[in-house]
Chains A and B, each alone.
Chain A
Amino acid sequence: MNDDARREMACQELVDVITGYLEGTLPVADRSRFDAHLATCSACQEYLEQMRALVRLTGKLSPKSLEPATVDSLLGAFRRWRDSQTRL
């Protein structure tokens, strides 16, 4: 283990690597430092919970939808395409 891997993770570093932690891409040594810090820091526990809450809330936003007129015009284009195919 090098010095870096032994060094305790500070809160400021934790907020910078949190996405890697949530993505599961953090190197094993950093993940251990992350978990060790988290176990003793309620502020970072709160920060992690807020990031998870944000992801949950963002998942509840409505996706962008197409204008009904665009959908209608696409359907018209599809039917013209289909008819031109069957004539071939």
Chain B
Amino acid sequence: MGPTTEARSPEADLIDRLRSGDEATFVCLVNTHSASLKRLALAFVSTDAVAEEVVQETWLAVLTGITRFEGRSSVKTWIFKILTNRAKTRAIRERRTINFSELEDPKEPDQPAVDPSRFLPAAHPTYPGHWASPPEAWSASAEDAVVGREMMGVLQRELDRLPPGQRVVVALRDVHGWPAAEVCDVLGLSEANQRVLLHRGRSRLRGVLEAYFAENA
């Protein structure tokens, strides 16, 4: 790439600053992306400690690779793909391959969003498939600071307990605010499979909060 009359993009500036060894740029990148990198790593590896190692390896690979980086994708996508590859390699070494099949084909086994017993049967004469046991309004105690803290603890715990595919998709979409297209890109998911995982994860968490509010009304 020679000199150009076009304005430099912020992305090109970022690459230049990183190549020139600008520490503030590196620290900023690490601070911006490490949390979601770690979340992504945890879709593939089993422990927090291994996820940290994979994130660390990823940043080292970024440093050694930045001189050769050709800008065919965004820096962000490039970094996250490095992480995905490393986490998968690590998972294979740990023999945790079940997560890939969940990511690739989340259709089976099918889980309903809500327990089917809460609906009237399809053969019901007037209201087939309508609520038999409708969702109760969540109590106003959700606004209470103490209840709120406890409920957020429950939500965090249950998010961490979701199957890995659902967990990583819900976390990247709803905790980190990623658009669907980026989640698909980084995880190699089709739009439909991404939506299935998001739907299952959110539906399960809604059910958990519903149960929580029913107990703490």
Contacts and interface: CB of A to CB of B under 8 A. Distances in A.
Contacts of A62: 156
A33 B169 CA distance: 28
Main secondary structure of the interface of B (DSSP, over half): helix
A54 B206 contact: yes
Contacts of A51: 202, 206
B63 A16 contact: no
Contact of B119 (A11, A67, A86): A11
Contacts of B98: none
Nearest to B209: A54
Given A19-B198, A74-B30, A79 B174 contact: no
A77 interface: yes
Interface in A1-58: 10-13, 15-16, 18-20, 23, 25, 41, 43-44, 46-47, 50-51, 53-55, 57-58
Contacts of A10: 119, 127-130
B128 A58 contact: no
A19 B199 contact: yes
A55 B130 contact: no
Contacts of B202: 19, 51, 54-55
Interface in B1-43: 21, 23, 26-27, 30, 34-36, 38-39, 42
Interface stretch (B51-59, B85-93, B101-109): B51-59
Contacts, number: 132
A74 B97 CA distance: 29
B217 to A, nearest CB: 14
**Most chain A beta-carbon contacts within 10 A, residue among B112, B135, B195:** B135
A18 B134 CA distance: 16
Contact of A12 (B55, B60, B130): B130
B55 A11 contact: no
Interface in B59-104: 59-60, 63-64
Contact of B175 (A41, A59, A74, A82): A59
Contacts of A25: 191, 195
B159 interface: yes
Contacts of A20: 195, 199
B205 A73 contact: no
Contacts of A19: 195, 198-199, 202-203
A31 to B, nearest CB: 15
Given A10-B129, A11-B134, A64-B39, 7 more contacts: A12-B130, A13-B129, A16-B113, A23-B198, A65-B34, A74-B30, A85-B21
10 pairs of A and B residues whose beta carbons are closest in the complex: A10-B129, A43-B134, A63-B35, A82-B21, A19-B199, A58-B174, A12-B129, A12-B119, A15-B113, A64-B38
